[in-house]
Structure 1
Amino acid sequence: MAMSPNRIIALPLILILSLAASQDTSFSYHGFRSANLSLDGMAKITSDGLLELTNTTMFQTGHAFYPSPIILKNSSNGNALSFSSTFVFAIIPNPDSPIRGGDGIALVIAPTSGLPGGSFGHNLGLFNYTNNGNPSNHVVAIELDTFKNPEFEDINNNHVGIDINGLTSNISAPVEYYIDDNSGVGSSLELVGGHQMQIWMEYDGVEKQMTVTLAPINATKPKKPLLSLDTDLSPKFYKNMYIGFSASNGVLVAKQYIVGWSFRINGQAPKLDRSRLPVSTLLTVPQSGDKKRSKFFTIGLPVIIVSLAVGAISSLFSVVRRKRQFAELREDWELDYGAHRFTYKDLYIATGGFREKELLGSGGFGRVYRGVLPTSKIQIAVKRVSHESRQGMREFVAEIVSLGRLRHRNLVPLLGYCRRKEELFLVY
């Protein structure tokens, strides 16, 4: 039976449409709660729908890939197809570290859904020391690099680069976006600032040009891209490739998130509706430094000042109390008679604070204690005249004068005296 002309025309048309459909892959994720991604390493989907590539664990990597391979080359001529992708990300610094860390995130196109040879730290989970720079890698990545590695010729610790088969970027630039005011002046941004930002990556298979554009989450896409690289990706790609994300931590760590993501072959990636992106406390900008400083000035500093003031007052009272405890009276007659005067402190120490066990005896004149002078170690006897003593100051002075002048083998020599408040002391 002969086929009608209409069917003959329709068959190639169906094949063309089928081929076009197979080359028009498109997807978008406003959060990842129900996403079926291929995850490994530290990567996980959080309860509120964020794609967490790394947490604050050192020396780890995280990978997340779209689960199905994507046709990126034209079957007839082997040329790389046009494609575009956009994603929103946030890198949250470790609040417990004085140095903002992590090594960064990469949007990566690779031959496999995962990078089994990708190492942690500055390798971004993409390569290792053995395969870095090898043309057989067939890996293309957009790196958001937060650590300066001289061995990879990094320009700083806050840049975006296009990497082909290795970590030495084919082109890179400091992180900034261009406000469309015709000035050509970019506005700087910080990758590890904890703020959400959006990346647009586009490859023109006809012009063989790749561009990367960046802006804060609330800004419109700038007309001027941050990076523009003339390159033919045809020899870098296999027909079927996988697209996804890679991130890593080294000694310095950070939480690195993807909030939303879209991709399309042969056209603009679907726009991300910011109102549909997940809202999470995990994306809260840490205020550790400012918060700690604020708490220090509002709470800590006043507490310290009050504590110091209380300490100073206590110390002052202690000094005054000690001075009062050991305060002594001095009068003019002492200069006339010249007997040796002891400090009350020395007598106090010598007698152990006039302890009862050092008491030798007592009488109407007072109590007598034994002791040892702290400096000379001379044994002494101290007569402490009580307040109730019937003898007055005149008798006390007379005894000092007379005994100070007497020298007899049968008399205990007077070594000196002391006066404190209303107390009188004779030292033998």
Structure 2
Amino acid sequence: MSDARITDLYEVTMAHSYLAEGMTAPATFSLFVRRLPPGRGFLVAAGLEPVLDHLARCRVDAGDVAAFADALHRPVRELEPLLGLGFTGEVRAVPEGRIVLAGEPLLEVTAPLPEAQLVESFVLNQVCHQTAVASKAARCVLAAAGRPVVDFSLRRTHGLQAAEQAARLGALVGFAGTSNVAAARAYGLPAVGTMAHSYIEAFGDEAAAFRAFIRSHPGPVTLLVDTYDTVRGVAVAARVLTESGLHEGCAVRLDSGDLGALAFAARRILDGAGLPHVRISASGGLDEYTIRGLVRSGAPIDLFAVGTLVGVSADAPYLDAAYKLVDYDGRPMMKLSAGKATAPGAKQVFRGPGCADTVALREEPAPPGAEALLEQVMAGGRRTGPPRTLARARAAFAADLAELPAAARRTDSPRPPTAAVSPRLARLTADVRRRLEDSSAQAAPAGRD
């Protein structure tokens, strides 16, 4: 199936109509998040790389035209104006890993109107999902306060592509590894994992299971200790590790119960057995909130494995995002709908120290000491440079995080910074609003006496 079919039907009907009307002048669409989800103090830009891959190869072929015609119950010949339509425009975007705020464009697409319209659904799908998951993962890294976090989300994400993305996005914000072997290989990440409770149950005896595992995997190993009784399981693991001579790099994993209390008990048992270097890892329904509580309690947990709640961004699984027309054929455009008004014109975001951001018109000069966030990443339908590496994205995230105010980094009740609007953009917005309201008033039918 062609990638061009990965779109909503109304994108097809609009693109077809634009072509029929000869409306092929350049249009700029801006993708932004209206407001942050509850409990979020910032977002991490993500999803740009698959968007650029899609735009570079997207072209409507004969099979697509037939599929569109079938969906619309119309003859193929009527949809043939769409044949050969591809993406020939440009993209300016915030690079992956940068921190973004509400109201700021994450990317802007400028292309002939039918092209820019047809790709809307794919662009929103990738940027919204990946930005939501990356932002959730980033909060786990903050909550862990320097302790490693790894991704265990493969079995619970909404599909295999989402699982691979979750592994990559975790790495982007600082995760130490993933259980997903395919993702680990694809992105050069450490593959991590232990054993399941079924493994222990299959042997019927914890000591026998641990010994068998060590024979197959001579170390370092992580032993799952909560299949039956956690405290007893830690003691058995300590005995088997001592017998085997394995100490350095080994760990026990807690996966249920009161993880904080069990971690303290496990640490006492391991230290008492002369195994101070054996680490304690924890998993089982963890996210930034539970991690924060465990860290604050002083629980001696050395590594956190997060899965379901992070892989699906459970508490904020979507973003209130939009992809809106802001300029067509040199004319600034805006929407006036109540609660959903947009700002006209192609834009730039300028960032000052401390993530003091200003949303401005694209042609405005940068204020002193500020940098432009949106970079040109595609021109003439082609990338302007190689794909951004995970290492670069991770470095960008770390640098922005260091500048983010502490109140925005809080797990509970964060206070996100608010982007300012430049005076020129504010004036243009007021002018366009006035023009549209006057035009609407003139077009309205006269009232009866």
TM-score of the aligned structures, taking structure 2 as reference length: 0.19
Larger radius of gyration: 1
Flag the structure with higher strand content: 1
TM-score of the aligned structures, taking structure 1 as reference length: 0.20
Q: Greater relative contact order (Cα 8 A, min sep 6): structure 1 or 2?
A: 2
Flag the structure with higher helix content: 2
